[in-house]
Structure 1
């Protein structure tokens, strides 16, 4: 099912910000961009140096882009994001598709425009994870700063609840997010469309290593709970490879104490693992890896650790492509597509003890790698693109009939 070329609507994409390295949300955005290759991408700020994955888009930014300093530090101007998105000029487009976990859903549209939001999550730091956000930075504990921060968050929460009613249709990425939308906005969203796993380029590495290790592929931020993976593997005297960047990196290295190492500039991933084994460095930090290097790690790891509650968690599906089980929090979005004891071990609490229990259970479970791989193919990017495009087309036809 595709749009009729003679009546093709003009489409624009809107995304919160394009200033992060490639992750699950970015894979979703790129897939949607492939469905609608002529659609420009509107966003608050854009960092070409960091978001290398975005060079295929025609990117249009808000006035915030004029201040170079803020392109990589959007957190400092959170209070300006509402007005920035409201200032975007979208009048010439028939369909606006916002892909949002924050402010992009709040763009202003007219009655003759269809606004569809593919919601990654209601804004975490003002709803579900507000307390965590306020406790994550020491300076936010200072009385005056804390008071000002709470005033700002109250304003953003008010605006966010208003903005949530601007899309004509909200499509959640998981039932977890569907329930959050109902809880925080009192909105009944559409049927879930799950994000895709990046199956096509995931080629099993031919290179094998006799080096048992667990794997974490994640942004290094508090809610991902990478610290639990580090503490648990250290307690069990296991190796853990941590792939990712983020504000929590230095804190995680402190947790690993003197038992960590990291990849040097020109070091290969193979040399890194060999050096870590010789040094008995249990926690191995690395980042900005090539696709073959990530494939190599997924091929050779024992399992992928995902102890924090994920809005979805695409890495969990990507592990399945390689026949590897996942230790995952039981309410995470991806757990809706996984089966405990078949391709995953569920954990019920975000605690070190529960991760230790799950690792011990995993090591005493015989997983069928062929079965795990077979289940992953049902969540390909191509299937997602077909499903998503059909939903947009059906929504547009219904919108035109009723307008």
Structure 2
């Protein structure tokens, strides 16, 4: 195919448009690279105030958009989504990008079209996290649980089959590349998702760097409880906890009676930015596919102390692996491991510079993402796959 990124006819297929979050930021940056692209999505219920990244484009949706109660409960139609995504007519496009964490990669393309799938994650609840999903949803037993297990079995079979229609897999981290290899037996290029490093920058005044910071939605897998428990055991060190969510009552109970732990709740961007810029270190105990908040903290010049699994391995430069560290990684997801790593951080923190953290974060900037996507596309268009 003889074409360039500016002349090629491009379609971008997204799972669903409900809120502007991480995967939607990827779509926004793909549209910046391919301003001529058209957008397809299983459903589109994105609020007007969050649609700016679409640039006024009309989004083409599927029959699920018009099904009863779809606006609030479209996920209940998961069993129909493989069928729905296969109905998109993409025959007029040279290049199709699917933005996939569930079924988007199941689109049908022809032999003269290229299909590049940017994978945020293989479908977690259908693969290695099925047991946790069933447990948290109360579906371990009973007829409903049996039905859901059957449905996920069917989806897994379809998921593997539909992977054969992808020409090039792109993973958002080395961790996701390993999951793609495990599930689909395919290799993947790694292009990290775009982070708005311009919105998170170094402080203009000398930073306080007094308190540690954890900022996240308070849901079980984020393991904010471990961070709070660790700092209960370190009364001499202050911890700021930002965010809210279903685990909020549990977090409040754990923090009760610990004056060194301050619960801030959900805060505006400007306040979060100030806390990141002045944090002694950003503490993170979850296993994430990537970990955008880790990059945002690094962009503020702040060291990161993180659980050493998932995307954190791509982001944090541990002092055992780099002469210019930007933080530390701990190998066990426990409060004890956090305590030990914070103590170790205090002995090596002079080796970490704010400028070094910022430089590390720029590897994940919007500009870097666009450059990598452009290079990949040009390679595919000129050399094939």
Partner residue of 1:8?
7
Per the TM alignment, residue 133 of structure 1 is displaced from its structure 2 partner at its CA by 0.9
- Indicate the residue corresponding to 1:151 in structure 2: 150
Is the contact between residue 345 and residue 358 of structure 1 (CA under 8 Å) also seen in structure 2?
yes
Is the 8 Å Cα contact of residues 197 and 362 (structure 2) preserved in structure 1?
yes
Query: Partner residue of 2:90?
Result: 90
Query: Which stretch shifts more, 192-201 or 209-218?
Result: 209-218
Show the counterpart of 2:355: 370
How many corresponding residue pairs?
Answer: 372
Contact 2:19 2:47 in 1 (8 A): no
Query: Equivalent residue for 2:131?
Result: 131
Unaligned runs of at least 5 residues, structure 2 = 320-324
Query: Cα deviations across residues 2-55 of structure 1 (Å, max 9, x unaligned)?
Result: 9648x81110111212213433x3332222221112212211222323981555
1:360 lines up with 2:356 in the alignment: no
| 1:370 CA drift (Å) | 2.3
Query: Is it true that 1:42 corresponds to 2:40 in the alignment?
Result: yes
Match of residue 273 from structure 2: 295
Structure 1 unpaired stretches of 5+ = 261-276
Q: Name 1:172's counterpart in structure 2.
A: 171
RMSD: 2.9
Q: CA deviation at 1:183?
A: 1.0
Change (3 A) 1:26 1:208: farther
Once residues 233 and 76 of structure 2 are traced to their aligned partners in structure 1, the CA distance between those partners, rounded to angstroms, is 37
Q: 1:255 to 1:203 in 2, by over 3 A?
A: closer
User: CA offset at residue 194 of structure 1?
Assistant: 2.3
What CA distance in whole angstroms lies between the structure 1 residues aligned with 2:68 and 2:53? 18
C-alpha deviation, 1:385, in angstroms = 0.5
**Secondary structure at 1:12's aligned position in 2?**
strand
Cα distance, 1:224–1:33 mapped onto 2, change above 3 Å: farther
1:215 & 1:60 partners in 2: Cα distance? 42
**1:168–1:220 distance in 2 versus 1, CA, 3 Å:** farther
Give the aligned partner of residue 263 of structure 1: none
Give the match for residue 17 of structure 1. 16
Task: Quickly say closer, same or farther: Cα 1:383–1:95, change in 2 above 3 A.
Answer: same
- Cα deviation, residue 147, structure 1: 1.2
Q: 1:151 deviation in Å? A: 1.0
User: Under a length normalisation based on structure 2, what TM-score does the superposition of the two structures give?
Assistant: 0.86
**CA distance 1:362–1:88, shift in 2 (3 Å):** same
Tell me if structure 2 keeps the 8 A contact 1:303–1:325: yes
Change (3 A) 1:51 1:107: farther
Which digits, 9 at most, give the CA deviation of each residue in 1:335-380, with x for residues without a partner?
2242113212112122232223223333343232222223323332
Distance 1:210 1:324 in 2: 11
**Which segment is superposed worse, 198-207 or 11-20?**
198-207
Question: Is residue 266 of structure 2 the alignment partner of residue 286 of structure 1?
Answer: yes
* 1:114 paired residue number: 114
Between the aligned partners of 2:111 and 2:176, the Cα distance in structure 1 is 27
Verify the 8 A CA contact 2:14 2:104 in the aligned structure 1.
Answer: yes
Answer whether contact 2:64 2:74 (CA < 8 A) is retained.
no
Is this contact kept in 2: 1:234–1:282, CA < 8 A?
A: no
